[in-house]
């Protein structure tokens, strides 16, 4: 059974004749840890800067990514908030208007199928 995951999210922007930009976000989590690692990077070049790269690469994010200039990179440790639970949980009682509903009476939702008209 897997005890971790790695996620890659990629945004690819190509403005024909102008520029190509890729934003990558990588997330890594290990089971049992109270944090997740996040890496964000931006790669970008104008088409003029990519004149030595074959134009066929422009439409494939995986091919062009290795030719784009790394502009921004950020690494973060995202810590999960510590949740504190109360010993007693209060459950709200369903009601319609000012009248509490009798849960033994039937469905909580009114509609044509039940024959109960909405308030």
Q: Can you give the residue ranges of every domain in the chain?
A: 4-79
Inter-CA distances, 92 with 87, 95, 108, Å: 16, 9, 14
Q: How confident is the model at residue 112 (pLDDT cuts 50, 70, 90)?
A: very low
**What is this structure's pTM?**
0.65
Confidence of residue 7 (pLDDT cuts 50, 70, 90): very high
Write phi, then psi, for 28 (nearest 5 degrees).
Answer: -130, 130
pLDDT at 45 over 90: yes
Q: Which one has a higher pLDDT value, 13 or 107?
A: 13
Mean pLDDT estimate for the chain: 84
pLDDT digit string (tens) for 55-84?
A: 999 999 999 999 999 999 999 999 998 877
Is residue 68 a contact partner of residue 43, using CB atoms and an 8 Å limit? yes
């Amino acid at each position: 059974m897997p005890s971790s995951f790695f996620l890659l999210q990629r945004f690819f922007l190509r403005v024909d004749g102008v520029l190509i930009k890729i934003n990558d976000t990588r997330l890594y989590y290990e089971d049992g840890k109270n944090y997740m690692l996040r890496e964000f990077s931006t790669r970008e070049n104008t088409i003029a800067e990519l004149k030595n790269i074959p134009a066929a690469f422009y439409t494939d994010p995986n091919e062009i990514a290795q030719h784009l200039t790394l502009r921004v990179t950020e690494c973060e440790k995202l810590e999960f908030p510590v949740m504190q639970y109360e010993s007693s949980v209060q459950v709200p009682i369903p009601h319609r208007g000012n009248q509490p509903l009798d849960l033994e009476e039937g469905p909580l939702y009114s509609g044509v199928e039940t024959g109960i008209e909405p308030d």
